[in-house]
Amino acid sequence: MPPSLDPQQLDTGTLALFVGHAAANLVQEQLAKEGFADLRFSHGYVFQHLIDDEPTVGELAAHLAMTQQGASKAVAELERLGYCERAPDAADARIRRVRLTARGQEAVAAARRARSALDQRLADHLGEQHLAEHRDLLVRLLDELGGTAAVKRRAVRPPR
C-alpha cells in the first residue's frame, strides 16, 4: 500500500483539481439518481456549446479544438443517448445544426439543480460567508491563471 498523502502538502492547482473532481463526482451521482446515469463528465464540454447555440459539427470541433471526426463521434454518442439531435439550418437545409433535445435540456436542468444543492450543502457545512470568501478566491485564481475569458464564453476545452 502506498504511503498516505497529506492534502495540505498538495500545490494549489492539484488541490483545486481534486476538489473539482470530488464535486463533479457528487453531481454525477445525483444525475444518475435522476435518470441520467449515461452522462459522463466529458459530455459537459459538448453541452456547454449547445445551451445557447446550435453549432454545426465543424463549428463544434473548432470550439473544442478537436478534429471534425472527433466532434462528430461525440455528437453521434449524445444523439444515440437522446441528448442532442442534428437538424436542418433554418436558412439552408443542407447545413445540419446540433441542438439539445428535450432530454438534453432536462439533463442541463438536473445538473444545475445538483450543483446548486452541492453549493447549499457546502454553505450549510462551512457557513455562507466562509464559502463566499473561498468562491471569491477561486474566481480570482481563475482570473490570475487566464481562465476567466474561456468560462465567460462557455469555451472551456478538455484538458490535453
Q: Is pLDDT above 80 for 158? A: no
Q: Is pLDDT above 90 for 156? A: no
Quick one: pLDDT at residue 108? 98
Quick one: pLDDT at residue 32? 97
Query: How far is C-alpha 4 from the chain's CA centre?
Result: 31
Tens of pLDDT, residue by residue over 70-95, are: 999 999 999 999 999 999 999 999 99
The x, y and z cell numbers of residue 153, run together, are 464564453
pTM of the complete model: 0.90
Tens of pLDDT, residue by residue over 35-80, are: 999 999 999 999 999 999 999 999 999 999 999 999 999 999 999 9
Helix, strand, or coil here: 97? strand
Among 32, 46, 30, 111, smallest CA distance to 78 is for 46
Quick one: pLDDT at residue 118? 97
Secondary element (H or E) of residue 33 = helix 12-33
Among 90, 55, 93, smallest CA distance to 78 is for 55
Quick one: pLDDT at residue 160? 75
Question: What is the pLDDT averaged over residues 111-117?
Answer: 97
Amino acid at position 63, single letter? H
Of how many residues is the chain composed?
160
